[in-house]
A and B are shown apart, each in its own frame.
Chain A
Amino acid sequence: MNKRNSFRNKLIYIVGIMVLIFPMWWLGSPKTPTNRGGELARLQEEHGLSQANLGDIDPASETMKLCTLGFRGLAVQLLWNQAQEAKKEENWTQLTATLKQLSRLQPNFITFWKFQSWNISYNVSVQFDDYRDRYYYVREGIKFLEEGIDHNKENAEIPQLLWDLGWFLGQKIGRADEYVQYRRLFKADDEFHGDRALEDRDNWLVGKEAYLEAIDSIRRGKNLGRKSEKIFYSSPAKSQMNYAEAIEEEGAFETAQSAWVLSEEEWREFGDRVIEHSTGVKLKLGNEAEVAAELAEQEAAMEALAPGAKLRLREQRLELLSDVEREALNTPMDERTSQQFEIANAAEQKVVVTDQDWAAAIATEKSDLKTKAYDLAGKLSEQRVLLIYTQRYKRDANYDYWLVRAVFEQTPEAVSARKSSFLGKQAFEQGDRFKARELYEEAFEKWRVVIDEFPILMDDDGPTGEDILVFVEEYRRVLDALDEPFPESFPLWDVIEKFDLEQKFEAELRDHQTNSGKQAESSGQKAEESGEGDAPAEPKEDEPGGNDPDSDDPDSDDANTDDANTDDAKTDDANTDDAETSDDVGDDRPATPET
């Protein structure tokens, strides 16, 4: 290579460097107090992505990211693999250490915090036999989540992390099989609580704080993501109710009573909150009556335009049906064959009069009212949808039940019933069987009063009936210990009939039904003899739930239980439901039926 070539090459390099420097400067120059910086700095600022905008700056994290010399992605990949391997090989110390390193390499990756905190709290904790070890890892997961929150205070997705924190604190501690032990350890956990007062160290209350903080972050313009508003906004009030329930179980009845007062207040507040349905419709759960009244008013206004038009249209359509279809429709539901069911359903679709059909019928009869009729029909349809969605959300959230629950739990009868049940149990444990029987019987009399006053408690959707059944079982143990039969005068037979799904009281119930049959027979005979009226009516079964004609509603994604599942894709052990099931035993263990 001669000198000229060498010089030419150098020139080319310099020009190349100059050309490359310009876009680098344009893209990457940092922001200073006097200069708004390059394009990337501007975009960071615009979308709130700079580190200072997202949360606490951790020098260790920044150093570590710098040390990877641009190979952060590779390092993260290796560490994720290492974490998975450590989990597989039950090397928990290594796992937690690796997660700490990962958290420094990707501190603003929300999914990382959600996934791995869940991993520790739910999957790692259950690998231990000792409940103290389990609690340690449950708490480690919670602390890990808190660390993630500190790093992402201003992250747009922070409400999700805060809500998860509330969930872990509440559900993982308060609904585990070991909840008694976990709650006890949680209260005594000075390291976790620091200066928090002893009376505030309840997992449900601390969880509620996190839920409220999550709601507050929404007010600051953060993003809820795909989480259902119904679940999100109901969580603080539900947490308050869970708190009241938990301390009631622990025997703190006076505190529980005031906790229920607050629960009612918060549940009503939740009912008054405008929440968005997944279809975008805005509704209030506590507003059903008003929506229904407005709908009735609008229907009346429509009817007033052409009285009887809707009915006439339906009758016209009925006439068009075949005989088979008409027969199927006219057959009572419980007498229809499966074929008739199908035919009747199809026929019903043919004769149903929609609001638009109704408006068209009015327009045919009175053409001058056409515009008004269509206008009203549009409003009517909207109102109808609003009512259906409101009812559905209410049912999903079990709104009415929880409202009644919060109300009745404050009543002196309910408090007294619970207290007597609790003391009865205590007396039995202390060996005083007679006192235990007395207290239980006293409790059941009070429960009778409560149920009569609040019949919704017998609703299938609420757990109160099952709660009472637990007391009944305890009562039977007391009777067994006393070698006494189950009394016929027991006041809560209806609770047993309805909630004893496992048929633990099969024998008692059979005896009771035989006895009441005899009584009914004898009273029937007496009635006949005395020539009075008809035979006594069969006891009426409550019709639980009821059929919902709109069960294929698109909102089925969050048609879940009241404390429904988190909708995030969780890990293998994602057994999150709030239902009172064992949450851990089956995490990744084969279930062996207990015989």
Chain B
Amino acid sequence: MVLENPVQPFLDWFLGDLSNWGAGPMFLVTLLVLALGSVVIGLLVSIILYGPLKGGERVYTVVRNGLAEMFYWSPRRVSAIARLAVQESLRKRVLVAIVVFVILLLFAGWFLQSENDPAKIYFSFVLTATAYMGVFIGLLLSVFSLPDDFKSKTIYTIVTKPVRAGDIVLGRILGFTFVGTMLLLIMGAISYIFVWRSLDHSHQLDETVMQDIRDADGEVVATIPQLTTLDNGHRHEIRVNDDGGIVAAFAQGHEHEVLQDGDKLTVSPPLSTMRARVPKYGSIVFRDPNGNPVARGVSVGKEWKYRSFIQGGSQSAAIWTFDNVDESLLIENKRDETEYLPLELIVRVFRTYKADIETPVQGSIQLRNPETDLKSRIEFFSARDDYIDSQYFPRKLTDSDNNPIDLLKDLVSKEGQLEVVVQCVDRAQYFGFAMADCFIRRPDASPLVNFAKAMVSIWVQMVIVIAIAVAASALLTGPIALMLTSSLVLLGYYKEFFVSVARGAAEGGGPLEALVRLVTHMNLTSPFPNEKDRFEIQLLKNVDNVIGVFMQGVANILPDFTQFNGSSYVASGFDIPWPLIVQQLLTCLAFVIGSTVIGYFFLRNREVAR
């Protein structure tokens, strides 16, 4: 799968280093800056309104009470408020969302037709639909709750009870989260069944064209059909494996087993339509055509810079280094009782001339000990473009001089490192690689658990939206809070673009400049005529710079919703790494804490809750 931003190990992500702070220090600093900023602004406003002494005293009181109340929250009171929030949601007929979701899935077949990789499309669709539904429900549930209470005066009944403002905010966040979680559970279950049912199919054997199966001496031992019937928009070729088993070969992302019952052959249900590969990634470096180490290979002119390429017929190579290689990574083939290192490789082929079109470009792969430079015997392979190809190395193998060696003892360094060297053999042809294109495959994880992890990512998004919405609704009226939260969510989905506008890196300039260009139908790249001499243009750009600074500040507290997307893993058949889930949960916790604190002060600011 494409992995543009590899998942960092948890500690690296959380702590970082001096030059690049991790999430933990960043959270604390942001919290501190926000707190100090709020106190300063509050102080200024109070001084203006009430004079320096009284104003200062009021701010001190608010901060002191706030800090005190933060440590006196009661789980019982919070759960009572949460229960109320659940009841309120049910009264608002939140279950209608389930009906809408089911209708969506009922008609999804109209829009989802893919002959190539249906699992990818189905998973992408259900997870994206669930994510949007989750965010939408979370937003609608939470954003109108407190404003409605203010409007209907029910809040007076609540504040007369012994509850604190923090309890109200946190209780609501938790209550709506509970409702949202239930909905997500139901939607997740329906989605999984939908995908499973959609991918399930069967074939018959098409007996119109038959093929002879021959033994080692060339004698015909059986005659079997060449193809399956056309079902679900595809058919499979029937092949006989090395072990004699008959399979309906890989097509549309799956294969079938052909079962023999006496003379009768039947095709099994699809195998591995849903999978969760667990890769162990290494780091990648390249060698240029002269064998010198370089960070990237050559560019072949593709707009997308994800992969870089190595030149065939030269010393150019892609080298992956895997850490902590030990026995646990080997798998045992029960047939020959041999242990293998299961390597998987994705190659993108780039031909500078067509050569023989039916002959794949040849590549070579070797294992190497980074310490001793001992190499395994070179293995040649035919490159299958854009396909996950298995390259299994037996534990007992030979080195480049044909001496028997042990993979773990001889090729893995003392530090547990192993290098995989891949080269393109054909002259003037190229192979393209990125870090994630070679990995050691661990035993597959459960697709169901993987799907559940993707649902956790969606849940995280929903909880963040609920937390922000509840905090905003503590101060603002329903529609305004809705607008604010929707804007934050929308910006969260396009955070990268938002940041590029803030930094002035986006084409078209800052917000004001872009507006002028839009209205005057001016393209994004042309400079304004004589712009350096024109006061109004310079003013425009300077104002944009100031707005940019503000936008960068906002960007620091903006949730990046694209980082909570687990669907690409599930759709590509890869396991979502646990560190990623933990990172997402911690990020969510940070937003809940931050929103609760902000919501508390907002609510305290309202006359009724003091």
> Considering the chains assembled together, what is the distance between the CA atoms of A383 and B407 in angstroms?
87
Q: Do residues B301 and A128 form an inter-chain contact, with CB atoms below 8 A?
A: no
> Considering the chains assembled together, what is the distance between the CA atoms of A589 and B354 in angstroms?
12
Shortest A190–chain B CB gap in Å is: 7
Shortest B391–chain A CB gap in Å is: 18
Shortest B233–chain A CB gap in Å is: 8
From the candidates A93, A94, A104, A592, name the one contacting B111 in the complex (CB within 8 A): A104
From the candidates A63, A92, A100, A129, name the one contacting B349 in the complex (CB within 8 A): A129
- For B98-117 the 0/1 string (1 means CB < 8 A from A) is 00000000010011111011
Chain A residues within an 8 Å CB radius of B301: 588-590
| B607 proximal to A (CB < 8 A) | no
From the candidates B111, B113, B300, B351, name the one contacting A129 in the complex (CB within 8 A): B351
Chain B residues within an 8 Å CB radius of A100: 111, 113
Q: Do residues B111 and A64 form an inter-chain contact, with CB atoms below 8 A?
A: yes
Chain B residues within an 8 Å CB radius of A74: none
| B375 proximal to A (CB < 8 A) | no
> Considering the chains assembled together, what is the distance between the CA atoms of A191 and B385 in angstroms?
24
| B361 proximal to A (CB < 8 A) | yes
Q: Do residues B114 and A96 form an inter-chain contact, with CB atoms below 8 A?
A: yes
| A337 proximal to B (CB < 8 A) | no
| A178 proximal to B (CB < 8 A) | yes
Q: Do residues A63 and B300 form an inter-chain contact, with CB atoms below 8 A?
A: no
From the candidates B114, B120, B121, B428, name the one contacting A592 in the complex (CB within 8 A): B428
| B503 proximal to A (CB < 8 A) | no
| B486 proximal to A (CB < 8 A) | no
| A348 proximal to B (CB < 8 A) | no
Q: Do residues B304 and A90 form an inter-chain contact, with CB atoms below 8 A?
A: yes
Chain B residues within an 8 Å CB radius of A136: 116
| A304 proximal to B (CB < 8 A) | no
Query: Considering the complex, which residues of chain A in the window 60-117 have a beta carbon less than 8 Å from any beta carbon of chain B?
Result: 60, 63-64, 88-94, 96-97, 100-101, 104
> Considering the chains assembled together, what is the distance between the CA atoms of A351 and B130 in angstroms?
83
| B261 proximal to A (CB < 8 A) | no
Q: Do residues A88 and B303 form an inter-chain contact, with CB atoms below 8 A?
A: yes
Chain B residues within an 8 Å CB radius of A53: none
| B358 proximal to A (CB < 8 A) | yes
Q: Which residue of A lies closest to B385 (CB)?
A: A129
Chain B residues within an 8 Å CB radius of A130: 360, 384-385
| B196 proximal to A (CB < 8 A) | no
Q: Do residues A592 and B353 form an inter-chain contact, with CB atoms below 8 A?
A: yes
| A594 proximal to B (CB < 8 A) | yes
Q: A588-B301, A589-B301 are in contact. Are A181 and B357 (CB under 8 A)?
A: yes
> Considering the chains assembled together, what is the distance between the CA atoms of A591 and B301 in angstroms?
11
Q: Do residues A97 and B114 form an inter-chain contact, with CB atoms below 8 A?
A: yes
> Considering the chains assembled together, what is the distance between the CA atoms of A414 and B383 in angstroms?
44
From the candidates A60, A88, A93, A133, name the one contacting B121 in the complex (CB within 8 A): A93
Chain B interface size band reads 35 or more
Chain A interface size band reads 35 or more
Query: Considering the complex, which residues of chain B in the window 111-133 have a beta carbon less than 8 Å from any beta carbon of chain A?
Result: 111-114, 116-117, 120-121, 124
Chain B residues within an 8 Å CB radius of A60: 107, 110-111
> Considering the chains assembled together, what is the distance between the CA atoms of A129 and B386 in angstroms?
9
Q: Which residue of B lies closest to A586 (CB)?
A: B352
Q: Which among B107, B351, B352 has the greatest number of chain A C-beta atoms within 10 A?
A: B352
| B230 proximal to A (CB < 8 A) | yes
| B550 proximal to A (CB < 8 A) | no
| A308 proximal to B (CB < 8 A) | no
Q: Do residues B304 and A88 form an inter-chain contact, with CB atoms below 8 A?
A: yes
> Considering the chains assembled together, what is the distance between the CA atoms of A177 and B351 in angstroms?
13
> Considering the chains assembled together, what is the distance between the CA atoms of A584 and B349 in angstroms?
15
Shortest B84–chain A CB gap in Å is: 33
Chain A residues within an 8 Å CB radius of B233: 191
Q: Do residues A93 and B116 form an inter-chain contact, with CB atoms below 8 A?
A: yes
Chain A residues within an 8 Å CB radius of B306: 89
Chain A residues within an 8 Å CB radius of B116: 92-93, 96, 136
Q: Which residue of A lies closest to B299 (CB)?
A: A590
> Considering the chains assembled together, what is the distance between the CA atoms of A101 and B110 in angstroms?
10
Q: Which among A63, A93, A588, A591 has the greatest number of chain B C-beta atoms within 10 A?
A: A93
Shortest A573–chain B CB gap in Å is: 12
| A59 proximal to B (CB < 8 A) | yes
| A341 proximal to B (CB < 8 A) | no
> Considering the chains assembled together, what is the distance between the CA atoms of A585 and B357 in angstroms?
11
| A582 proximal to B (CB < 8 A) | yes
| B2 proximal to A (CB < 8 A) | yes
| B281 proximal to A (CB < 8 A) | no
| A486 proximal to B (CB < 8 A) | no
Shortest A50–chain B CB gap in Å is: 22
Query: Considering the complex, which residues of chain A in the window 529-570 have a beta carbon less than 8 Å from any beta carbon of chain B?
Result: none
Chain B residues within an 8 Å CB radius of A591: 352
> Considering the chains assembled together, what is the distance between the CA atoms of A592 and B427 in angstroms?
12
Q: Which residue of A lies closest to B112 (CB)?
A: A97
| B350 proximal to A (CB < 8 A) | yes
> Considering the chains assembled together, what is the distance between the CA atoms of A128 and B233 in angstroms?
21
Q: Which residue of A lies closest to B2 (CB)?
A: A89
Q: Do residues B111 and A177 form an inter-chain contact, with CB atoms below 8 A?
A: no
> Considering the chains assembled together, what is the distance between the CA atoms of A207 and B383 in angstroms?
34
| A471 proximal to B (CB < 8 A) | no
> Considering the chains assembled together, what is the distance between the CA atoms of A88 and B384 in angstroms?
21
Q: Do residues A582 and B351 form an inter-chain contact, with CB atoms below 8 A?
A: no
Chain A residues within an 8 Å CB radius of B114: 93, 96-97
Shortest A69–chain B CB gap in Å is: 14
Chain A residues within an 8 Å CB radius of B353: 585, 592, 594
Q: Do residues B383 and A129 form an inter-chain contact, with CB atoms below 8 A?
A: yes
Q: A177-B354, A590-B300, A590-B301 are in contact. Are A129 and B360 (CB under 8 A)?
A: yes
Q: Do residues B300 and A589 form an inter-chain contact, with CB atoms below 8 A?
A: yes
> Considering the chains assembled together, what is the distance between the CA atoms of A161 and B351 in angstroms?
32
Chain A residues within an 8 Å CB radius of B386: 90, 128-129, 133
Chain B residues within an 8 Å CB radius of A499: none
| A131 proximal to B (CB < 8 A) | yes
Query: Considering the complex, which residues of chain B in the window 373-420 have a beta carbon less than 8 Å from any beta carbon of chain A?
Result: 383-386
Chain B residues within an 8 Å CB radius of A594: 352-353, 428
Q: A88-B304, A93-B116, A590-B301 are in contact. Are A131 and B358 (CB under 8 A)?
A: yes
Chain A residues within an 8 Å CB radius of B357: 131, 177-178, 181
Shortest A57–chain B CB gap in Å is: 13
Shortest A465–chain B CB gap in Å is: 25
Q: Which residue of B lies closest to A131 (CB)?
A: B357
Q: Do residues B124 and A592 form an inter-chain contact, with CB atoms below 8 A?
A: no
> Considering the chains assembled together, what is the distance between the CA atoms of A133 and B384 in angstroms?
11
Shortest A76–chain B CB gap in Å is: 15
Chain A residues within an 8 Å CB radius of B304: 88-90
Chain B residues within an 8 Å CB radius of A133: 385-386
> Considering the chains assembled together, what is the distance between the CA atoms of A494 and B117 in angstroms?
56
- For A499-517 the 0/1 string (1 means CB < 8 A from B) is 0000000000000000000
Query: Considering the complex, which residues of chain B in the window 295-320 have a beta carbon less than 8 Å from any beta carbon of chain A?
Result: 300-304, 306
> Considering the chains assembled together, what is the distance between the CA atoms of A191 and B360 in angstroms?
26
> Considering the chains assembled together, what is the distance between the CA atoms of A133 and B383 in angstroms?
14
From the candidates A63, A178, A592, name the one contacting B107 in the complex (CB within 8 A): A63
Q: A94-B124, A97-B121, A177-B357 are in contact. Are A592 and B110 (CB under 8 A)?
A: no
Q: A60-B111, A97-B121, A590-B301 are in contact. Are A181 and B2 (CB under 8 A)?
A: no
Chain B residues within an 8 Å CB radius of A89: 2, 304, 306
> Considering the chains assembled together, what is the distance between the CA atoms of A130 and B303 in angstroms?
22
> Considering the chains assembled together, what is the distance between the CA atoms of A341 and B142 in angstroms?
87
Chain B residues within an 8 Å CB radius of A96: 114, 116
Q: Do residues A589 and B121 form an inter-chain contact, with CB atoms below 8 A?
A: no
Chain B residues within an 8 Å CB radius of A59: 110
7 cross-chain pairs, A with B, having the tightest CB-CB distances, nearest first: A129-B385, A60-B110, A129-B349, A592-B352, A93-B117, A594-B353, A93-B120
Q: List 9 A-B contacts (CB under 8 A).
A: A60-B111, A93-B120, A97-B121, A97-B124, A104-B111, A133-B385, A190-B230, A585-B354, A594-B428
Beyond A96-B114, A190-B230, A588-B301, 14 additional pairs, beta carbon < 8 A: A60-B110, A63-B110, A89-B304, A92-B116, A93-B120, A94-B124, A97-B121, A128-B386, A129-B361, A129-B386, A177-B354, A585-B354, A589-B300, A589-B352
